[in-house]
Amino acid sequence: MRDWLDARTGYRALIKHLLDEPLPSGVGWWFVTGSIVLFLLSVQLLTGILLAIFYSPSPDYAYDSVRFIMERVTFGRVLRGLHFFGASFIVIAAIVHMLRVVAFGSYKKPRELNWIVGVLLLLIILGFALTGYLLPWDQKAYWATTVTLNIARSVPLVGDALSGVLKGGTELGALTLMRWYAAHVFLLPACLIAFTVAHLYLMRRQGISGPVKAVPGPPTPFYPYHAIRDTIAVAVVFALLLTFAIAFNAPLDAVADPTDATYVPRPEWYFMSLFELLRHFPGPFEPVATVIIPGIVIALLFLLPFLDRRPDRAPASRPLVIATFMFVFTGIAFLTVLGFRSTPAPSSATQAAARLGATPGRRGPVMVEDVFKNVQALKGITVDEFMGTMGIMSASLGLCCNDCHPGAGTDEVVWEADTEPRKVTARSMVLMMQAINRDNFSGRQVVTCWTCHRLRLTPVDTPRLDQFYGEAINELDAVISKAAGVPTPMQVLDKYLQAIGGSEKAAGLTSIAATGKVVAFGSFGGGGKFEYFAQAPDKRAMLSHLPDGESSRTFDGRAGWFAIPLAVVPKYPLTGGELDGARLDAQLSFPAEIAHSLTGLRVGPVTEIDGKEVYLLQGNGARGSFASLYFDRQSGLLARIIRYTPSKIGKVPTQVDYADYRDVDGIKFPYRWIVTWLDGRDEFDFGDVKLNVPIDATKFGEPTLPPR
């Protein structure tokens, strides 16, 4: 069979030709670097193909598919690790190979063209690293690519066009992901293979340069005398790479969130120097960092064999070349170190999430899959958002937890069990609702559980004539528009500040410390005492000491926590919308802060609360959250705040009703609060209220719970 094949292809002669390459005497271990790069490129190609089998290049599924690879595919975690860490290994190996070529003067005549091909290969490798970034569609992917696109935009003359080509659409989205994916898996591999073949062909055609000073002796065949060195070096590198892939998870942040203004992009180490360089050339000087300096370095690399044309290869006789390379690489190393020092560490909320047991090796908030089993339709969201979605379902259908989770509220509950068909139906409904919004409303949440259910298990499908011909129902939607014939937002706020004691008094309010009695969960949670602390501009803590344990909501200006007794998750850090909501709660504790806390203020039509006319003032918070503030039309006092935070299946409202205003040090303070949210209702009656007193900062931090 082999003879038959050889007679037709001549493969034996080809193999002999490839393996019996004569190598000059003295070729040693320095000459294994090229083989290491070649091997690592092969590993990248193989693992890339395997990852592509499972990866889905669309914003809807990219992140889920990467998580699927990490968590469900056999050896998926290791394969992604090999691919991820392999990228760093290749960059290192390619640079070491290049330095070896420079040190040995191997770029000199007649190998100039092969040097140029090698530089092109290095740029292609960096292109792989850049385009591979976006594919997991996590926070790092999104924000690092945003930075890249903006860097591209700073290129003089063609910046906008270049950024447009890279982006593909008006926003960083599906079209961007598709074209970066296409570049990563089709265009760049094709270029890589073509230039690698050219590099090897030219290497064979010109022969290996060999030692700087010729070593006397006849040449030896490549195989097996040098191949054994290559193989051992490759084995060592592979063992190291495999160890990394097994010991460490390739990082995966939370899913990309284009509205997260708090995320600080931190590039991979091999782009850190460029990232850092950008810091030192702000504004109109940006092109110096993005185009001119990198352009000069790349141009010097390409031109090296033509600038240094003397045949002498010894490093000592080429001090300018060696010094230039040392200067450039020292500069890159210095900028890299500087970059790592100046990029802030993850936020305290992230660290809190890590303490609470998020997946090891993955930064980011506590995801629902990390805590609950058998989550299907609502994967990829944080625990606090998930709890909000559960509240939306129960409030929309008028159900309790145990209607879908038999035994909820007792020790007998098995949250993950699917014994109740209603739970299975709920999943289909979530999917249906998302499909309706996606297919008909461009993904806006126009249809939610509440749209149809309205506290009923089965939606009403027939118009009721008595209602149609009866009294009109004027139900305001959550989002309002500016109404005509009402005061301006500033007039409403001024009246409020006057009503509580004047704007000067309000501006002087810097802290509140109070205690009182609480009845929790509409008396289901029992009665107890509470402590309330607020520190301007944005710290707040509500700590309730209940018969079943501690219930607390805290926000320290950056991170927030929620703890509740007898819950499936007793304590979790707030993220996303709930974190924004906690910040808003804290800011709105100080009347003078209201105007600064909300944007897009508008006053809606006059409405009523308990028969009293109120002005409805609405404003926007961060990331899709917003708040409605109801001010008594007559007294000007604040009667109610409802703040809304976004979730995967609708807006999550939290309402606070204020009453019983009393004078404290010249400021009117509401002594009765009723806090209502989707899962409960707490009534707070304040007893002792102190203003402008020092408060221990630890009160606003992560609450400490007694052991369960």
Partner 1 sequence: MPIETPTGDATRRRFLSSITSGILSVIGGILGVLGGGAVLSSTVRRQEDWLAASSLHDLPVNEPTAVTLSMMRVDGYREALQRRTIFLVKTGESEVAAFDATCTHLGCLVAWDAQGQVFKCPCHGGIYDRTGAVKEGPPPEGLIKVSTRVDGDKVLVQA
Residues at the contact surface with partner 1, assessed by CB under 8 A: 20, 22, 43, 46-47, 50, 53-54, 56, 61, 64-65, 67-68, 72-76, 78-79, 82, 217-221, 223-225, 227-228, 231-232, 234-235, 238, 242, 376-377, 379, 418-419, 421, 424-425, 427-428, 431-432
> Whole-number minimum distance, CB 32 to partner 1, in Å?
13
> Whole-number minimum distance, CB 570 to partner 1, in Å?
28
Nearer to partner 1 among residue 137 and residue 562 (C-beta): 137
Cβ(666)–Cβ(650) below 8 Å: no
State yes or no: cis peptide before 224, omega within 30 of 0: yes
Q: What is the dihedral of CA 444, 448, 451, 454, to 10 degrees?
A: -160
Distance CA 321, CA 307 (A): 9
Nearer to partner 1 among residue 76 and residue 653 (C-beta): 76
> Whole-number minimum distance, CB 52 to partner 1, in Å?
11
Nearer to partner 1 among residue 11 and residue 225 (C-beta): 225
> Whole-number minimum distance, CB 385 to partner 1, in Å?
17
Burial label, 500 (beta-carbon count in 10 A; 0-12, 13-18, 19+): buried
Nearer to partner 1 among residue 82 and residue 689 (C-beta): 82
Cα dist from 630 to 119, 359, 604, whole Å: 66, 42, 10
Task: Report the DSSP beta bridge partners of residue 627.
Answer: 619, 643
Please tell me what DSSP assigns to residue 367. B
Helices vs strands, H then E, count in the chain = 26, 16
> Whole-number minimum distance, CB 34 to partner 1, in Å?
17
Nearer to partner 1 among residue 432 and residue 490 (C-beta): 432
Distance CA 565, CA 553 (A): 12
Nearer to partner 1 among residue 379 and residue 672 (C-beta): 379
State yes or no: cis peptide before 22, omega within 30 of 0: no
In Å, how far from its chain's centre is CA 247? 23
Please tell me what DSSP assigns to residue 535. E
Task: Report the DSSP beta bridge partners of residue 544.
Answer: 530, 551
> Whole-number minimum distance, CB 218 to partner 1, in Å?
4
Distance CA 393, CA 237 (A): 53
Task: Report the DSSP beta bridge partners of residue 688.
Answer: 515
Nearer to partner 1 among residue 60 and residue 608 (C-beta): 60
> Whole-number minimum distance, CB 381 to partner 1, in Å?
14
Q: What is the dihedral of CA 186, 188, 191, 196, to 10 degrees?
A: -120
Distance CA 291, CA 102 (A): 24
Nearer to partner 1 among residue 74 and residue 481 (C-beta): 74
Nearer to partner 1 among residue 194 and residue 424 (C-beta): 424
> Whole-number minimum distance, CB 633 to partner 1, in Å?
49
Cβ(619)–Cβ(598) below 8 Å: yes
> Whole-number minimum distance, CB 64 to partner 1, in Å?
4
SS (H, E, C) 144-179: HHHHHHHHHHCCCCCHHHHHHHHHCCCCCCHHHHHH
Nearer to partner 1 among residue 218 and residue 706 (C-beta): 218
